[in-house]
Chains A and B, each alone.
Chain A
């Protein structure tokens, strides 16, 4: 070690510098898989509604318009909420989870990748099974998430 480095190291030890932060999303630190769960619940709900909506009988233009309007709205909300679910999952995956968590949960990447894929499937399809699988995937992620925070008091629940 050169003399100048030795002096610099000694000065740093005597006068440790206070930290400053370049990012504000880290120190805020407010993450919760509930955001993804709520959006996924909406996907599941809209999938059910789409499957349950009966097409009208007859050729009444107004009735047909009302049916198509309702169906369009269900589809639009399902796709929007599937995209939100994916976004919320990616925030957890890329911002909250760190390499140390991967050591604890080696299949973390796989779980997130599959959950994100399910978001895409639910967006494209009208699949009750995929919507239910998405909810199950988020439940697993929620359990991992709260385990990493050493919290045992957060139980899984759904709004609907």
Chain B
């Protein structure tokens, strides 16, 4: 997710952001990896279906494993929205 996020950055995540509404394109989200148990990842939402499923991508396509590999992610796996980064 460089240059937006750097390794070690501390993020504030709103885990209630999507209780009332679905993620929007452009949101930075923390999600449960759909294929790797116990792995939480941070990605950008680049598309959302009417059911709320999200297509998520990293900021560096050549280095990122994302929805191009694992497909749309169910909304229940989206754990929260990144709302700010601590400096």
Contact = CB atoms under 8 A, between A and B. Distances in A.
Interface string A9-37: 00010000111111111011000000000
A21 B10 contact: no
Contacts of A19: 40
Given A8-B86, A17-B10, A22 B40 contact: no
Interface size class of A (residues with CB under 8 A): 10 to 19
A22 B10 contact: no
B17 to A, nearest CB: 15
A8 B12 CA distance: 12
Contacts of A25: 63, 65
A23 B64 contact: yes
Contacts of A12: 10
A23 B10 contact: no
Contacts of B2: 22
A91 to B, nearest CB: 12
Contacts of B66: 24
Contact of A24 (B5, B10, B41, B86): B41
- Among A12, A20, A23, A27, residue most surrounded by chain B Cβ atoms (within 10 Å): A20
Interface of A: 8, 12, 17-25, 27-28
Contact of B1 (A8, A18, A22, A28): A22
Contact of A23 (B11, B30, B58, B86): B58
Nearest to B79: A20
Interface in B23-57: 30, 33, 36, 39-43
A28 B86 CA distance: 27
Contact of B65 (A8, A20, A24): A24
17 contacts: A20-B11, A20-B40, A20-B41, A20-B42, A21-B39, A21-B41, A21-B42, A22-B5, A22-B7, A22-B42, A23-B64, A24-B64, A24-B66, A24-B69, A25-B63, A25-B65, A28-B36
A119 to B, nearest CB: 21
